[in-house]
Chain A
Amino acid sequence: MARRRYSVFALAREALRYHAGWERAWNSPAPKSRYDVIIIGAGGHGLATAYYLGKNFGITNVAVLEKGWLGGGNTGRNTTIIRSNYLQDPSAAIYEKARSLYETMSQDLNMNVMFSPRGVIMLAQTEHEVRGYQRTAHANSLQGVQTEFISPARVKQLVPIMNIDGPRYPVLGGLWQERGGTARHDAVAWGYARACSGMGMDIIQQCEVTGIRREGGKVTGVTTTRGDIGCSKLGIVVAGHSGVMAEKAGFRLPIESLALQALVSEPIKPCMDVVVMANTVHGYMSQSDKGEMVIGGGTDGFNNYTQRGSFHHIEETLRALVETFPVISRLKMLRQWGGIVDMTGDRSPIISKTPLGGCFVNCGWGTGGFKAIPGSGWAMAELIAKGEPGPLAAEFGLNRFAEGRFIDESVAAGVAH
């Protein structure tokens, strides 16, 4: 089922015949009665897991089940920021793996994911942040992640529209990652889906998993709204609903689900060619290729599954950003939305075996999952294929909470991703 390659020649050929020859990017077959591996959740992480199962381990008898539509959860709701400037070694390793895979993703998947390594600045607006980011920059140089701590003057040079002398939130410096940036989030999901379908995997949308069948402490399959499907191994990659799915599988996760909001403005002329994050005020902003200012805020403080958050959080974010970026004060906001993020106690993800045999879980990416998609899929595929975590996933096991081996990113990077 090899897909016809996308190329300039394909574009020219189709241009000459009214674009009548484009085929569907992926198949939507009816579920078979059994697969070697079932992945629950066709978001970025689930599809990347399936893709690397096929590419790295040759396992292609795989189904990816999706309750709604492909990439319609947090994959389509994030602010598309990619960076790897984390403090702790295990985090830096998996996020840098992901970032490096983004560099060649368009070629690997034969789908333009519009990876734009435009650079990411994390503003230091308090003395604590200055010290914290200097520490992170030193940690990153030991980890082989290219970042540097830059002066306010350099920040102003990179982002001329920024007011660095604000009375409440002066800019005291910034953590600068030149190869960080953004990508087209939907294309990442579509590219993985197309590549998975090309390897013969089944991507089944509108198929909600209602139960997980077990026998003798091992998973044997799932019950869904489209019938029972058997499997030898199961990967749960469902972000905000991880706790709900874990309950069906008979175990609990150290996860709380919260709403995180984002919004975009009307499109304006190009005015900012890097991503700016301001963690003190829980806000971050970049300009999309269409010209919209893409703005992300902080989470609500209470458990929530509704994909909508409280208005006052948006107000707080914008109030602070307007001081740092006075030019946005009269921008109209076009759209606002929310996604359900799965937060762990140490703000680091879980890629782990579970108490149920043959069942693996990938969750807890919280407010920063998009940037991790390829690295997460890579590590999860290795865990599912071998049954044991590889070097990337080893530190992210569920047992770290019992053993006190936290990967604490809550101070360094847990608020705004």
Chain B
Amino acid sequence: MLILRCPYCGVSGEETEFHAGGEAHLKRFGPGSSDAEFEAYLFQRENPKGVHFERWRHVNGCGKWFHAARCTATLEVFGTYPAQSTEPPADLRKAISAKRPGWKWREFS
């Protein structure tokens, strides 16, 4: 059972209070992009065994979408941050790097 903290209303709740919304920080491609870019945007996901950045919604609470960093191999939640972020905040990145030495960071855009 995951415990998540909503960065908007500050409430910590277990996962039945939230709804998972898939990978965060997807770069969107639309008209004018190549077929490969559009395919990757629609179907390719990081699906890492390790640190995963994902979207959650506080459905049984304030109703807002936010982002979370979580480990898919241990279910540890590293932290949550507002959905307006284009990449994980620096302090969260630092905390993750300390906990997962050798974790390779990808480019966020």
Contact = CB atoms under 8 A, between A and B. Distances in A.
Contacts, number: 58
A166 to B, nearest CB: 23
Given A345-B42, A402-B35, A402-B39, A306 B73 contact: yes
Given A243-B47, A254-B45, A312-B15, A302 B1 contact: no
- Interface size on B, as a range, is 20 to 34
Nearest to A312: B16
B20 A301 contact: yes
B49 interface: yes
A402 B36 contact: yes
A401 B45 CA distance: 13
Contact of A310 (B15, B19, B44): B15
A257 B72 contact: yes
A302 B44 CA distance: 16
Interface residues of B: mostly helix, strand, loop or mixed?
mixed
B46 to A, nearest CB: 8
B27 to A, nearest CB: 14
Contacts of A255: 45, 47
A305 interface: yes
B109 interface: no
Given A243-B47, A310-B15, A402-B36, A305 B42 contact: no
Contacts of B54: 302-303
Interface in B1-43: 1-2, 15-16, 19-20, 22-23, 35-36, 39-40, 42-43
A241 B49 CA distance: 8
Interface string A240-257: 010110000000111111
14 contacts: A241-B49, A243-B48, A244-B49, A252-B40, A255-B45, A257-B72, A306-B72, A306-B75, A310-B15, A312-B16, A401-B43, A402-B35, A402-B36, A402-B39
Interface of B: 1-2, 15-16, 19-20, 22-23, 35-36, 39-40, 42-45, 47-49, 52, 54, 70, 72-75
